[in-house]
Amino acid sequence: MPPRETATGFAHARVGLLGNPSDIYGGAGIGFAVNELAARVSVSPAPHWSTPGEADQLLRAAWQAFTSELGMPRDAVFPKCSLTIETTIPLQSGLGGSSAIVIAAMRAWGALGAWSESSLDPMRLARAAWNAEHTILGTIAGPLDRLVQAHEGLCLMEFADPFAEASVARLSPQCLPPMLLAWHSTPGTPSGDVHRGVFGRWERGDQQVRRVMASLAQLAREGAGCLRAGNRSGFLQCIDRNSMLRTDLFDIEPRDRALIDCARACGAAAKLPGSGGAVLVVAPDEPTRTAADAALRHLGAHTLQPTIKEPST
């Protein structure tokens, strides 16, 4: 059999637009894939398994989850491969960097291996990626990242049964207001560490956690209604309410709080798009976004005007 060629997979950063982090708790959310930020994983045949050291455990879990979902390939030597990673997603910024690596690797394995193209449908891919980090590695992680990165585009998701076909509905990106991402030069706290305490309370039946998560889920549904109706001011109110609800359960890092306050001082709404390290700014108009961009850069933040990564298939 002739040697296989190198295969490359991509997955994009994701933004939790509304409802996060209720995805960990069976809630609802809106999210989108960011066109400008992505992870790229290349896979090629090799005498033995070879990966970047810092990602070895993550990629081994990804392989285990991938083959558990799709079955082992016919070629028994296929796991003997060399993997390389390139990413433009800021480290530990709450933008789905680790799940992007997992999904990119799975897409590369799928392109290189013996699975049919239909085997890599978005739901199966998202479920396998979630199992890699949540089930195998034991990270407290929700399905929002994986669903958005597998489906791409702008999605409204229900997480009671997250990998059912009916759990994901597409929204039109054209209905979104002007947005801005801002993040710090140094990494934030790992997302699993951020969620550990609250998740423990949830498991013990804490009523405050359950009430806040239900409110966040309902907020995502309300926000989707605002987008469909063209109610921009209502949508911005949902963004700020999401941020306020989060503070009922989670401490916000002072440097994240500084970015949120800066954006609001410019007249925009702002929230965390993930577990911390980056801030999402949603503006009522372009002049407000421009003013927030300048003010956040003055504070030393990196900024990006994100566009939506349209679905690949």
Range of the domain at 52: 7-174
Alpha helices, DSSP H, located in the chain: 56-70, 97-112, 122-130, 144-151, 191-203, 207-229, 232-246, 254-265, 286-298
Q: Does 168 lie in the same domain as 180?
A: no
Report the pLDDT value the prediction gives residue 3, as an integer from 0 to 100.
47
Q: Does 198 lie in the same domain as 112?
A: no
Look at residues 274, 257, 267 and name the one whose alpha carbon lies nearest to residue 233: 267
Share of the chain above pLDDT 70, in %: 94
- Give per-residue pLDDT as tens, 131-179: 999 999 999 889 999 999 999 999 999 999 999 999 999 999 999 999 9
Confidence of residue 53 (pLDDT cuts 50, 70, 90): confident
Rounded Cα gap, residues 18 and 227, in angstroms: 12
Average the pLDDT over 77-95 and give the result.
87
Structural domain total, the chain: 2
Look at residues 134, 149, 174 and tell me which one is the last residue of a structural domain. Answer: 174
The answer, yes or no, to whether residue 261 has pLDDT greater than 90, is: yes
Report the pLDDT value the prediction gives residue 111, as an integer from 0 to 100.
87
Looking at residue 51, which CATH number applies to its domain? 3.30.230.10
- Give per-residue pLDDT as tens, 293-306: 999 999 999 999 99
Confidence of residue 73 (pLDDT cuts 50, 70, 90): low
Look at residues 292, 260, 255 and name the one whose alpha carbon lies nearest to residue 273: 260
Burial class of 43 by CB neighbour count within 10 A (0 to 12, 13 to 18, 19+): buried
157 beta partners: 29, 168
Look at residues 73, 94, 81 and name the one whose alpha carbon lies nearest to residue 17: 94
Rounded Cα gap, residues 20 and 243, in angstroms: 10
Q: Does 255 lie in the same domain as 119?
A: no
Rounded Cα gap, residues 49 and 248, in angstroms: 45
Look at residues 129, 138, 39 and name the one whose alpha carbon lies nearest to residue 93: 39
Structural domain includes residue 310: no
The answer, yes or no, to whether residue 76 has pLDDT greater than 80, is: no
Q: Does 141 lie in the same domain as 29?
A: yes
Report the pLDDT value the prediction gives residue 185, as an integer from 0 to 100.
87
Q: Does 155 lie in the same domain as 64?
A: yes
What's the whole-model pTM score? 0.94
Average the pLDDT over 217-230 and give the result.
98
Name the more confident of 76 and 80: 80
Report the pLDDT value the prediction gives residue 2, as an integer from 0 to 100.
44
Report the pLDDT value the prediction gives residue 1, as an integer from 0 to 100.
37
* CB under 8 A, 24+ apart: contacts of 159-168: 159/22, 159/23, 159/25, 159/26, 159/27, 159/28, 159/29, 159/217, 160/26, 162/23, 162/126, 162/130, 163/123, 163/126, 163/127, 163/130, 164/123, 165/123, 168/122, 168/123
Report the pLDDT value the prediction gives residue 120, as an integer from 0 to 100.
84
Report the pLDDT value the prediction gives residue 186, as an integer from 0 to 100.
85
Rounded Cα gap, residues 168 and 300, in angstroms: 37
Name the more confident of 113 and 103: 103
Rounded Cα gap, residues 214 and 26, in angstroms: 9
Rounded Cα gap, residues 39 and 91, in angstroms: 11
Report the pLDDT value the prediction gives residue 196, as an integer from 0 to 100.
85
Report the pLDDT value the prediction gives residue 72, as an integer from 0 to 100.
73
* Contact of 272 with 280, CB cutoff 8 Å: yes
Looking at residue 292, which CATH number applies to its domain? 3.30.70.890
The answer, yes or no, to whether residue 193 has pLDDT greater than 90, is: no
Structural domain includes residue 169: yes
Look at residues 306, 170, 217 and name the one whose alpha carbon lies nearest to residue 18: 217
The answer, yes or no, to whether residue 287 has pLDDT greater than 60, is: yes
Residue 277 gets the label, from left (phi > 0), alpha (psi -120 to 50) or beta, of left
Q: Does 121 lie in the same domain as 239?
A: no
Mean pLDDT of the chain, nearest integer: 92
Rounded Cα gap, residues 263 and 299, in angstroms: 11
Average the pLDDT over 50-74 and give the result.
88
Q: Does 300 lie in the same domain as 288?
A: yes
